[in-house]
Amino acid sequence: MRGLVLSLLVHAGILAAGLVYLPRAAQVFENTPIVPVELVTVSDVTNVRAAAPEPEPVEEEPAEEETVEDAIETPPPAPEPEPEPEPEPEPVAPEPDAEPEPEPEPVEEAPVEEEEPEPEPEPQPEPVRREPQRPAEPSLEDMLGNIERQVAQSRDQGTPDTGERRRSAGDGEQMTATLQDMLQSHLARCWRNSLDAPDPDELAVRIVFSLDRNGELTSPPRLVDQARVLNSPNPYLRVAGERALRAANQCAPYPLPPEHYSQWRQIEVNFAPSLYSR
């Protein structure tokens, strides 16, 4: 296609040049002046040089139009593809140093199993001793109320003497001196004497109470000489009676030998400050 276009352009250029040049050539021949010619006898030998023929006018070829290739800017030649870079030589890996031979692992000595000592037998827990329930300790008002009731009963029926009460307590056995010492020592821990009161020797009171074989009270303690205590004008005597009743309640149970229970199942105690002074 490109060659056909180029050929058409060349032929068109030649045709245009002929149309321009031919009228000019005709006009040249028409205006040429007529030169007169004289006939001269020519010798056999002539020394006149023949005139040099006029050179024919050289047809100026019209400048060919720029070819389409010149008119049309030829696109710049495609850049030659850059030569592919030569692949870099792969780095030669340095030869690894020879691994040192592993040291032989130390042979673990089998641990010597220590003989475990035989576990000591666990101590057997001591049996819990259930303390027998104590009778509720009467309050001060209750103790005074009991005393007043006992005084009223003694007025109606009469109060038996101490000897009769002691004989009616059991089968006639009397407490030994050893049992009396044990009883007094035990009561002294719970009783607050009246040595700080005026005339302490006049503040002795007697109480009586009953015990079971375990030394527990079976009934609340009561005053033997309640009439004297309640009817006395001395207020310290009444306080001494209250302290004696409270001590008998707080000291239970009594640690007395059960084989002599017949001697201490009913006890009458004389709380005299001079006897319990320490």
Q: Would the pLDDT of 268 be above 60?
A: yes
- pLDDT for residue 165: 37
- pLDDT for residue 213: 93
Q: Would the pLDDT of 53 be above 80?
A: no
Q: Are 254 and 264 in contact (CB under 8 A)?
A: yes
Instruction: Domains for the chain: give ranges and CATH numbers.
Output: 140-168+176-276 (3.30.1150.10)
How far apart (Å, rounded) are the C-alpha atoms in residues 153 and 223?
Answer: 13
Q: What angle do CA 252, 271, 211 make, to 5 degrees?
A: 30
Q: Are 255 and 182 in contact (CB under 8 A)?
A: yes
Q: For the segment 233-244, what is each residue's pLDDT rounded down to a tens digit?
A: 888 888 888 989
Percentage with pLDDT > 90 across the chain: 17
Q: Would the pLDDT of 222 be above 80?
A: yes
- pLDDT for residue 175: 83
How far apart (Å, rounded) are the C-alpha atoms in residues 205 and 225?
Answer: 7
Q: For the segment 63-85, what is each residue's pLDDT rounded down to a tens digit?
A: 444 444 444 455 556 666 666 76
